Every structure is written in C-alpha cells, then in structure tokens.
Amino acid sequence: MIPDGFKKNMLSLLGDEEYHLLENSMSEPCVQSLRLNILKGNEESRNRIIEKFGLEPVSYEKTGYYFNPETAPGRRPYHDAGVYYIQDPGAMVPGAILTGRLFGTDKKCADAGGLKILDLCAAPGGKSTQIAAAMQGKGILFSNEINRSRAEILSRNIERMGIRNAIVLNETSEKLAERFEGYFDAIVVDAPCSGEGMFRKDQEAVSQWSEESVGICAERQTDILENACRMLKPGGVIVYSTCTFEKEEDEDVVRGLLSRHSDIKMTDTSFFKKEAEGVRDGFSGCEDAVRIWPMYFRGEGHFAALLEKEGEGVNAFPAGGYEDASVVRELKALESFLKESLSKDAASRILGSKDRFRLFGDNLFVMPEDTPSLHGLKVLRCGLHLGTFKKDRFEPAHALALSLNECDVKNVKNVTEDEAESFVKGMTLEGDGNGWVLISLDGFSLGWGKASGGKIKNHYPKGLRIPG
C-alpha cells in the first residue's frame, strides 16, 4: 500500500498523469543488472561471461549489463571470485556521473594517478567498487561507512573485487571533515534517505516511510553534505545522490547548500544524459540534476547532482602513518613466499612497495601511495592485505589471491564451475606439485590452495565458505 503522504507529495510534484504512471510502475517487475569487474581477468575472459549469462549492455556505464534473473549470477562461484558486482541500474548512475566527469565516458584511458576520492556513505560497496574499477589501481579511494556491521560488508566487497588502493573507514562525516579539510579531489555522497526509489523492490521501505522521516532525512543529508564540502579541495567535485523522489531531500538540499556557499556551483551533466535513455531533469532551478523515474527508466528511482568547488587547490597532506615492516619484522619469510609462488614481475611489484608496508599485529598490508596518517581513525582495511606472518613462514591472504591474475603466479589450478562450487564450500581438490596454488575459474582468481601429495588443501576463508 502506497503511503498517503507519499502520494500527496508526488501528485504535487508530478501532476495526475505522471503520478499514475509512477504508481503503475510500482507493480512492474524489477530490472536486474550487474557490473563486470575490469580489475580481474582480461577482455577475453569477460567476453565469455557476457556470452555465458546473455548480458545486455547498459548504455551509460561501460561495465554495466542487464541480466535475466533466471541465470542467478549471485548464486554462482563467479560472484565469489569478484567477476561482477550485482547492482541496480539506477544505483550505477552516481558512479557513472563521477567517473564520466573525471575520466570521460569511455574510461578506457582513465588516469587516476594522484587522485584522492572519497565515497562517504559507501556500504555495501556498489559505488566504491564502480569507482575503483575506473581508477585502475591508481590514486587512493577512501570508502567510509558509519555503521560498523555495514562497514564490514563494505570491506568484504572491496576484498572480493580485488581492489588494492582502497582505505575502508568506519567514521562519522564530522570526524572525517575535521581530519581531511580541503583534501579530496572528488566525493560521492549517496546519502541515507527515505528510500522511496526502493518501494518497488523493498516492501520494508514502504512500511517504514513517513512524512516525518523525510524531514529527518533532509536534516541529516544537509549535515553530511556540509561536511563533504569542507573536505573538498578547490577545483574538486561532489556527486550528491539519493534513492528518494522527495524534492525536500533532493533539490531542496542542493539549493540550500548553494545558498550557503558562493564557491559551490551545480555543473553540467549533459555528458551523462546523452548516454542514458529515460533520464529526466531535476526540478526547481536544478535542471542539471539527474532524476531517475521507474516509469521512464530501466531501474529503480534515483537522484544525482554534480557540484563543483571553484578555484584550484593541492592535496597539502604529507604521506605518513606507516609502520616500517622491514624494521619491525624480518621480511625473509615474505620474500621466500614471493620467490616460490609469484612471477618475477609480481614479486618485484610487491617488494617495490615495501616503503608502504604496514603491520597490524602479524597482518601485513601495502598501503596506497601517498596515504596520509590514519592515526586515531577507525580503519577496517588500509590497502591490500598481503598476508600473515606465522612463526617462520608467511601465509598469503585471500585478498592477495583475489587481486592477482593467472600471469602473476607460478602455479595455477584451473577449475570447472562445479569444482569451484566445491572449493567455496571448503572441499579439497585434486592437483599435482607442491606449494601455494592460485585456484582460477575461467581466468578469474578465486582463492588459494596448497598442493602436496596429489591433493590441494583448501585455504578458502572459513568465514566465507558456503554451507553445503
């Protein structure tokens, strides 16, 4: 049952004819889509996935595809391997606007070197993984989520997609604004909202809606957006987005910000609109904003506005916060693992970054280049988890496996989909040789195994194993 207050607000905004189109769209089936992960595999292996699942391209996101729900990609081991991220087409819009603004709509020649990007309300990770793919391992992506349990889900998705250059934080926007004033080149604020755009797919969003909640959300969105502006350097851009239709949470929040900040302006999104069929302009002087209505668009509702801070600025934050792992602990065990298990190029790439190694207990991470001090912040992930020191040996992390391709390792075990399903349940595999083996499904890394005596012992993390 559609709430009466929502109906009243939408009739005022749309008029009778368009409102009835909206209401009718609420009973239509949801569109299903995913993004292929261009950080993993190669063009040939990704093309095989397109053919296997019968994927249909999304026009405005070069890695986005519609899929038939009957193919159930979320229940296949390709999902565990980080081959794709299942994401609603509407939810792809803010990330597509940001990456299009920064790198061009093609994104094939993206250069994110030196860029500092913040996804401020990042869980469960759709926009962060979308942006990270466009960054291609360069620059630093800060992914923040205030809710601890959701932040842990975010961190797992960052790992699953093989992302090396992400810092996952669990902080308030206020604390981050105090620490990072004028630091970021780009920020995404996909703000918590009343969730009206999810009415069609989430009955709980309908039952929890109230006119009071709209006002509460607008106040919270205003505060978060203000803190984002503090963190944006001159010349930087913000994408402000919600999954609600309410003008109070969308255009009114943006217009309020513009009225308080003469150096912030709304900027052109025509580069996106010409690629996306069924997109509508914003209301109330915010025509450059993007509105996604489910009666016109293949996806759920969304709003996005692109904002820019005038002027020019630099990221005047020194790199820091490193704990020199080569001093804290001998790296011979790591070097031995790299020599025995990885290609020469991959081993050199990792050792060439040892000035950015950091230890958390016995866990070794390599942080993105130019990472500022993170002292005093709640950090769930600080770059790529390489592995763990255990007495006189080094055990590679699952995150490292997921970040590697077949050419990066000496020993690869190619598995069928059935074998992959057994592997993610914790089963032992048949295999020759000795030592660490990268388990690979159709050219996509799935995890580590350790070969000995004709068997490959399963090292897929117990906490991620699928019961069966």
* Residue pLDDT, tens place only, 216-263: 999 999 999 999 999 999 999 999 999 999 999 999 999 999 999 999
**What pLDDT is recorded for position 318?**
60
The reported pTM is 0.95
pLDDT digits (tens, 9 = 90+) for 393-445: 999 999 999 999 999 999 999 999 999 999 999 999 999 889 999 999 999 99
Mean pLDDT of 135-143: 96
**What pLDDT is recorded for position 110?**
56
Higher pLDDT, 358 or 193: 193
Average pLDDT, the chain: 94
**What pLDDT is recorded for position 467?**
86
**What pLDDT is recorded for position 153?**
98
* Percentage of the residues of the chain whose pLDDT score is greater than 70: 95
**What pLDDT is recorded for position 60?**
97
Q: Point out the catalytic residue in the list 243, 286, 382, 407.
A: 243
pLDDT digits (tens, 9 = 90+) for 279-324: 999 998 999 999 999 999 999 999 999 999 998 876 666 666 545 5
**What pLDDT is recorded for position 13?**
96
For residue 47, is pLDDT > 50? Answer: yes
Overall size of the chain counted in residues: 468
For residue 193, indicate whether it is catalytic. no
pLDDT grade for 327, boundaries at 50, 70 and 90 = very low
pLDDT grade for 377, boundaries at 50, 70 and 90 = very high
